[in-house]
Amino acid sequence: MADHTKVDDVIDKVSGLIAADAYGDAAREVAAFKAAHPGLIFFIEEALPSRVSDHVLKKTGAHVAFTTYTLRHPNWATEVAKAAADPDAFARLVSALEAELSSKQKAA
């Protein structure tokens, strides 16, 4: 199997887990891939923020709140990638982002 196929497969699997609100399981997949293919983890970590943002925007519809969040938290994408090394931390981070956007959407 070509390395790019492995990366694509993991990104698809992680995306599916995020879409199913299985944030800890998504991070476990990232950790397993990192252990098996440390030289390729960059590609997974780079894809995570867009997968997370797509999911929370689809779930909350809070596009303006998300834009505001990213302006106030310019390192959010790096934090998402870093948190993926710890399933509990990743689950907390994504859940907190989702909750914050949901609360802003309801207030609007």
Task: Give residue 71's Cα distance to chain centre.
Answer: 18
**DSSP classification of residue 39:** G
pLDDT per residue as tens digits for the range 91-100 = 999 999 999 9
Contact (Cβ atoms closer than 8 angstroms) between residue 48 and residue 93: no
pLDDT per residue as tens digits for the range 49-81 = 999 999 999 999 999 999 999 999 999 999 999
pLDDT per residue as tens digits for the range 11-51 = 999 999 999 999 999 999 999 999 999 999 999 999 999 99
Q: Dihedrals φ, ψ of 89, to 5°? A: -65, -40
